[in-house]
């Protein structure tokens, strides 16, 4: 089987749209959460989110092309082009386009387009609905547009597994390269659900924090006073390559992907089951061919919900045994917010940067750690550490679980 390495990374987040800015804000414990400005939230229980205020798609594509993309697709395109630039890879020039694939998923897809066109239907009638409504809204258009813009003609697919989407996309891409179906994969997740109906829907679930007076303190995974997640938006994209392909073109290597696990809870639509998450981590560890005590760092799913954080803590203990109390665990959602289908993409980027830079980003806002969440969550301050092996967890509504493992690259 082919070895698979990470050679490029791109992000579009409320903490930054360039890797250096993003990483600096993250390791300095800066929150990207603020008041929602894109629409009137005065009647909403939750009025905060990690909203991207300064995104300009015209830095990447022309205005006419951009108007035919939902915001989540725009994020996917920007993140992918940023990642390719970071990898110093031009698909059409530096490699065989038929050996380059795309898997950039979305948990929900074009929610803002759906809202706008439904409003048009009600106010102006069916003849005024845009012919671009369907192709703008469907979740697979992130991968579709990325492939059209970059020229990637290899495997092209889209995972839609709620908050596990980004990690499934990366794990599936890892396996495609490992078995020889592609030399390069552009993979990750994109999401743009900070919209009137998106926020209203999650408010109705009572899943989001209502700490509106202190937005920067609202996302507080593993803290006893956590009251729900904070929604984020954006994209996180990796460039994965076979080691042979990367070395042939002299690419810089951030880390090597070595394991992927997935499982289903078969339990509840929205509440997690720690057994499912534990099995997922165990499968990834087995796939990586390592012992549980080899894991140095876990980027937790850690959404800041009362049930979810406790469940993941239990799952980590089941998967890692006594080593669970020795491994560093952090939830960077405390700063980025929860990017839903894009979360796994952004958090895989964080794991790659953690290994490359020897620093672990903190979990901020742990003022009073929940006694039932009793692991080392790197509270409030970043930590210098040599991380050889990092694990990233993502768990989605419907009981979808995904875990990837990467390690420090050694030739």
Catalytic center residues: 163, 301, 338
Please count the CA atoms within 13 angstroms of the CA of 305 that sit on its side-chain side: 18
Q: How many other C-beta atoms lie within 10 A of the C-beta of residue 253?
A: 18
Within 294-374, residue ranges assigned H as helices are 306-320, 333-336, 343-357
Q: What is the DSSP letter of 57?
A: G
The structure tokens listed for 176 are 């495609």
Distance between CA atoms of residues 177 and 224, nearest Å? 42
Question: What kind and span of H or E run contains 407?
Answer: strand 400-407
Q: Work out whether strand 297-299 and strand 328-330 pair parallel, antiparallel, or are unpaired.
A: parallel
Nearby residues of 34 by Cβ (< 8 Å), 6 or more positions away: 14, 48, 49, 50, 51, 53, 215, 216
**Residue labelled with tokens 């990447």:** 60
**Residue labelled with tokens 């089987």:** 1
Distance between CA atoms of residues 334 and 216, nearest Å? 9
Q: How many other C-beta atoms lie within 10 A of the C-beta of residue 251?
A: 21
- Distances from the Cα of 197 to the Cαs of 162, 204, 386, in angstroms? 17, 10, 43
Q: Is 381 helix (H, G, I), strand (E, B) or coil?
A: coil
Q: How many other C-beta atoms lie within 10 A of the C-beta of residue 53?
A: 9
Question: What kind and span of H or E run contains 169?
Answer: helix 165-178
Sign for the CA dihedral angle at 49, 390, 264, 191 comes to positive
Within 221-342, residue ranges assigned H as helices are 243-248, 274-288, 306-320, 333-336
Q: Do 181 and 337 touch, CB atoms closer than 8 A?
A: no
Q: Is 398 helix (H, G, I), strand (E, B) or coil?
A: coil
Distance between CA atoms of residues 15 and 93, nearest Å? 32
The structure tokens listed for 121 are 């239907």
């Amino acid at each position: 089987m082919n070895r698979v390495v990470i050679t490029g990374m791109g992000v579009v987040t409320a903490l930054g749209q360039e890797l250096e800015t993003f990483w600096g804000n993250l390791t300095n414990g800066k929150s990207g959460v603020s008041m929602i400005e894109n629409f009137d939230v005065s009647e909403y229980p939750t009025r905060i989110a990690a909203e991207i205020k300064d995104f300009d798609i015209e830095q990447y594509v022309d205005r006419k092309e951009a108007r035919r993309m939902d915001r989540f697709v725009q994020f996917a395109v920007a993140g992918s082009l940023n990642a390719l630039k970071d990898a110093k890879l031009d698909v059409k020039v530096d490699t065989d386009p038929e050996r380059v694939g795309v898997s950039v998923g979305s948990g929900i897809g074009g929610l803002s387009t759906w809202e706008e066109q439904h409003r048009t239907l009600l106010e102006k009638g069916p003849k005024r609905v845009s012919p671009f409504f369907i192709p703008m809204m469907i979740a697979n258009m992130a991968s579709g547009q990325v492939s059209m813009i970059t020229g990637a003609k290899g495997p092209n697919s889209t995972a839609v597994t709620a908050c596990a989407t980004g990690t499934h996309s990366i794990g599936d891409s890892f396996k495609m390269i490992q078995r020889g179906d592609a030399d390069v994969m552009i993979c990750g997740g994109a999401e743009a659900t900070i919209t009137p109906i998106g926020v209203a829907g999650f408010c109705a679930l009572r899943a989001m924090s209502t700490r509106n007076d202190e937005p920067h303190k609202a996302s507080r995974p593993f803290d006893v006073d956590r009251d729900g997640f904070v929604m984020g938006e954006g994209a996180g994209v990796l460039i994965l390559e076979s080691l042979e392909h990367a070395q042939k073109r002299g690419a810089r290597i951030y880390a090597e992907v070595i394991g992927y696990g997935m499982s289903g809870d078969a339990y509840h639509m929205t509440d997690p089951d720690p057994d499912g998450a534990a099995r997922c981590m165990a499968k990834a560890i087995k796939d990586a061919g390592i012992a549980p005590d080899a894991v140095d760092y876990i980027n937790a799913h850690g959404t800041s919900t009362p049930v979810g954080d406790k469940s993941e803590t239990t799952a980590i203990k089941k998967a890692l045994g006594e080593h669970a109390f020795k491994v560093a665990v952090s939830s960077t959602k405390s700063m980025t917010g929860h990017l839903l289908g894009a979360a796994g993409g952004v958090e895989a980027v964080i794991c790659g940067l953690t290994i490359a830079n020897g620093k672990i980003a903190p979990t901020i806002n742990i003022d009073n750690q929940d006694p039932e969440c009793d692991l080392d969550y790197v509270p409030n301050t970043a930590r210098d550490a040599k991380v050889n092996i990092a694990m990233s967890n993502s768990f989605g509504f419907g009981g979808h679980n995904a875990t990837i493992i990467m390690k420090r690259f050694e030739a």
